[in-house]
């Protein structure tokens, strides 16, 4: 059993981004810029935004966080996004989700310029991903693909079961796997007898936020397990969606939680922002 070390790989990617930033500054005099919209006081969102800010500092990005009250209006956020779309110093715009109920999230995601959509949520970039064209890909599934690449895991013809059908993880993950010539099945909350599906899988990718959803008897020998879930257990420990203790010994490869997919999400955000900066310098 081999542990897919996202922490180690994310450091390698960060170092590469940092080197590229120095070259970009020398050649153009410009620094890649990332802007984050943070609404309300959700502790998890604030912690995540702080992690992104620290990562930007480490690689030499310019970063700014627009902190807004829980009661903010749709118009006020839209004005801020429009301003960032027009700001040549900003290469990436990220709207921290979830947003309060009075906000139309889809409208905001569509308002972000596709050229600055480093989260890969704009319909334009979703369409390019689905059709196999270059664009911005959501950071978490993109990080998973980088792990496959780093460990030389060939996806061609593999039976992959994606557990969870969210727009942020499940659907783009399925598209990336399809583009890599894997056979893909998506399961979700209404899927009957999940075990029947996962037992056939060469690769199981799960990200639904349910502790111990994937158990030992749901996994065939030598399967590859990608645990994208992150949950706080009753004892305060961070755990994924897989019963790691009992499942790991059956696997050929598995991601730990923490230290697996999580660190990759932030390093892919940096990589996407750098990509946007490089593309904008060509315009």
Q: What is the CATH number of the domain that holds 63?
A: 3.40.50.10860
Q: What is the pLDDT of residues 269-281, one digit of tens each?
A: 999 999 999 998 6
Phi and psi based region of residue 153 (left: phi greater than 0; alpha: psi -120 to 50; beta: remaining): beta
The answer to whether residues 169 and 88 belong to one domain is no
Residue 247: what are its φ and ψ, rounded to 5°? -90, -35
Given the residues 52, 116, 171, 275, select the one marked as catalytic: 52
Domain end call among 115, 131, 161: 115
Q: In the prediction, which pLDDT does 141 show? A: 98
Where residue 245 sits, what CATH number does that domain have? 3.40.50.720
189 found inside a domain? yes
Least confident of 36-50, 103-117, 242-256, 261-275: 36-50
DSSP state of 250: G
In a domain, 120, yes or no: no
Q: Active site residue: 20, 91, 96, 116, which one?
A: 96
- 20, 117, 119, 202: the catalytic one is 119
Residues with Cβ within 8 Å of 204's Cβ and at least 6 positions away in sequence, in order, are 160, 161, 163, 198, 214, 219, 223, 224, 225, 226
Residues 102 and 41 in one domain: yes
Q: Is 102 a catalytic residue?
A: no
In this predicted structure, the answer to whether residue 6 has a pLDDT above a threshold of 90 is yes
- Residue 202 is a catalytic residue: no
Question: What range defines the domain where residue 191 resides?
Answer: 139-262
The answer on 257 and 167 residing in a single domain is yes
Long-range (24+ apart) CB contacts under 8 A made by 274-279 are: 274/17, 274/20, 274/21, 274/24, 274/32, 275/118, 275/136, 276/32, 276/91, 276/92, 276/115, 276/116, 276/118, 276/136, 277/24, 277/30, 277/32, 277/33, 277/91, 278/20, 278/24, 279/115
201 and 90 within one domain: no
Structural domain contains residue 4 = no
The pLDDT value given to residue 281: 66
275 is catalytic: no
Considering the domain architecture, whether residues 89 and 154 belong to the same structural domain is answered as: no
pTM tops 0.75: yes
The mean of the pLDDT values for the chain is 96
How confident is the model over 117-132, as a mean pLDDT?
97
* Percent of residues, the chain, with pLDDT higher than 70: 99
pLDDT in tens, 10-31: 999 999 999 999 999 999 999 9
**Angle subtended at Cα 167 by Cα 166 and Cα 169, rounded to the nearest 5 degrees:** 65
Place of tokens 């755990």: 239
The answer to whether residue 48 sits within a structural domain is yes
* Tally of domains within the chain: 2
């Amino acid at each position: 059993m081999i542990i897919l070390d996202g922490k180690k790989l994310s450091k390698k990617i960060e170092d590469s981004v940092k080197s590229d930033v120095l070259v970009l500054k020398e050649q153009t005099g410009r620094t890649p810029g990332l802007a984050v919209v943070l609404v309300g006081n959700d502790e998890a969102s604030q912690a995540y935004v702080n992690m992104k800010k620290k990562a930007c500092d480490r690689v030499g990005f310019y970063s700014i966080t627009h902190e807004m009250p829980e009661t903010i209006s749709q118009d006020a956020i839209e004005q801020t996004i429009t301003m960032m779309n027009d700001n040549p110093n900003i290469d990436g715009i990220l709207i921290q989700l979830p947003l309060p109920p009075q906000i139309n999230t889809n409208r905001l995601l569509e308002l972000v310029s596709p050229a600055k959509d480093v989260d890969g949520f704009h319909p334009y970039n979703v369409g390019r991903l689905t059709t196999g064209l270059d664009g911005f890909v959501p950071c978490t599934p993109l990080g998973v693909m980088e792990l496959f690449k780093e460990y030389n895991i060939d996806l061609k013809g593999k039976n992959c079961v994606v557990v969870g059908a969210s727009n942020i993880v499940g659907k783009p993950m399925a598209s990336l796997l399809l583009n890599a010539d894997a056979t893909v099945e998506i399961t979700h909350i209404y899927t009957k007898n999940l075990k029947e599906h996962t037992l056939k899988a060469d690769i199981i990718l799960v990200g639904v936020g349910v502790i111990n959803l994937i158990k030992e008897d749901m996994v065939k020998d030598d399967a590859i397990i990608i645990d994208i879930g992150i949950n706080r257990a009753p004892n305060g420990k961070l755990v994924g969606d897989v019963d790691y203790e009992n499942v790991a010994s059956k696997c050929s490869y598995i991601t730990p939680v923490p230290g697996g997919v999580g660190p990759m999400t932030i390093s892919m955000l940096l990589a996407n922002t750098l990509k946007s900066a490089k593309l904008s310098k060509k315009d």
